[in-house]
Amino acid sequence: MNDQLRENFEVTDITTSLDEARAMGAMALFGEKYGERVRVVSIGDDWSRELCAGTHVKQTGDIGMITILGESSIGSGVRRVDALVGAGAYGHNAKERALVSQLTGLLNVRPDELPTRIESLVAKLKESEKELTSMRQAQIMASAGKLAQDATRVGSVKVIAHNLGEIGDGNALRALATDLRNRLGEGDASVVAISGVFKDRPQVVVVTNKSARDLGIKAGALAKTASGILGGGGGGKDDMAQGGGQNATALPAALEGIVENIREVVGA
């Protein structure tokens, strides 16, 4: 496209009949409706000729420069190109060059080495994130013993309602809740509700053992109550359910809502 701009083709237009325009090879836009008289815009002798009612430069060189930003599909067989022209294109290229210069200075590499270096850094970052997530998971599971010991009673039901705060893995809640249920066993009715914030979104997982379910305590109903307080939705089966919402600051209230529901069911 920029090669054609440098040719500085003259842009001309005529008004003629639709049949004559078609005979000239003018391109019509798909889906457009045209009258008997149409405007035909030509760029150069035969480089481009189409039906168009819009405005145009006098010569292609007036555009100066074109920088493609991207292209995308806007329909079946139709694609749209997004681009900057003229001063906007020059300014965009200048900003990109300044950014490349800044990156090469920070990473101490040549411009052609940037992709390889950045790929290496991204790979190391992902590996570090995996290790950090694994460490956080280990720390969370290490707290299970104390949480099980600190379980409170609501009537005849053992209850653990604990907020982990920020978590790096959404599966951490389910893993800890399941582990705690196993630790509490089946001797007494027990309910475990674990909450946390993953990617700025509050989440709650609730699990019950068979003895609790026999009393009419259902994990799905408890998760729905908590999710409503969090400004979202949730639910699940009687033995395990989860939910979430938008308001992370309401997690303590959501856990308290679960405890209140248990208290209502058992009449404590």
Decide if 59 contacts 43 (C-beta within 8 A).
no
Measured CA to CA, the distance from residue 117 to residue 125 in angstroms comes to 12
pLDDT at 151: 92
Residue 157 β-bridge partners:
154, 189
pLDDT tens-digit series, residues 80-95: 999 999 999 999 999 9
The structure tokens listed for 55 are 């405005």
More confident residue, 94 or 56: 94
Note whether 22 and 36 are within 8 A (CB). no
pLDDT at 29: 74
> Which run of H or E residues covers position 5?
helix 2-6
How many whole angstroms separate alpha carbon 159 and alpha carbon 245?
23
| Whether the predicted pLDDT of 130 surpasses 90 | no
The amino acid present at 254, given as its one-letter code, is A
What digits encode the pLDDT tens for the residues 99-119?
999 999 999 999 999 999 999
Mean local confidence (pLDDT), 50-57: 85
Contacts 24+ apart (CB under 8 A), 228-234: 228/257, 229/253, 229/254, 229/257, 230/202, 230/204, 230/254, 232/202, 234/204
pLDDT at 132 over 90: no
Residue 169 vs residues 39, 144, 173, 200: alpha-carbon distances, Å: 61, 17, 8, 12
Summarised one tens digit per residue, pLDDT across range 185-239 is 988 999 999 999 998 899 999 999 999 999 999 999 999 999 999 999 888 899 9
pLDDT given at position 247:
93
Query: Token digits for 232?
Result: 């979202």
pLDDT score at 30: 63
Predicted pLDDT at 122? 95
Residue whose entry in the numeric block shows the structure tokens 């720390």: 139
Q: Percentage of the chain surpassing pLDDT 70?
A: 99
Q: Which residues of 131-166 are buried (b: 16+ CB within 10 A; e: fewer)?
A: eeeeebbeebeeebeebbeebeebeebbbbbbbbee
Q: CA 73 to CA 81: how far, in whole Å? A: 9
The 3-state DSSP class for residue 170 equals coil
Residue 170 has pLDDT above 80, yes or no: no
Q: Between the CA of residue 95 and those of 92, 98, 111, 123, 135, what are the distances in Å?
A: 5, 5, 15, 27, 40
Tell whether the model's pLDDT for residue 163 goes beyond 80: yes
The rounded Cα 66 to chain-centroid distance in angstroms is 31
For residue range 23-36, what is the model confidence (pLDDT) as tens digits? Answer: 998 988 766 788 88
